[in-house]
Structure 1
Amino acid sequence: MRQQVQQKPRLLSDNLPRPSLQARGYLVDEQGREIAITERMIQQACQELEQQWVAPQSLKAV
């Protein structure tokens, strides 16, 4: 007597690597050390850009 085993259909996504929940980025300093980019670093950079931002002047037709 042969038993048949039902297999779950495989999806293409079953073979793909799963990305981590958090993306990671690094800076390399002068000594070649990797420094993780943190959420705080990104927030600080955005705040500095907001403070330095100047609205463009409209161009007047000549």
Structure 2
Amino acid sequence: MATRRFLTVREFCHELGIAPSTFYDWRAKGRAPKYIKLPNGEIRIRHTELERWLDEREVAA
């Protein structure tokens, strides 16, 4: 099975265990990962962007 390259907002939120409203709040505040806005207005997040975004937030113990 091939790895999906893009996540929907719903899939992104499911991966992180957050509500979609949290994603949209982060987006409004400029804290969300980079995303792609499709011509129909839907949003997609690259899997690689999710990993990069999480890596930037990793804190050493």
TM-score (norm 1): 0.29
Larger RCO: 1 or 2 (CA < 8 Å, sep 6+): 2
TM-score relative to the length of structure 2 = 0.30
Greater share of strand residues, 1 or 2? 2
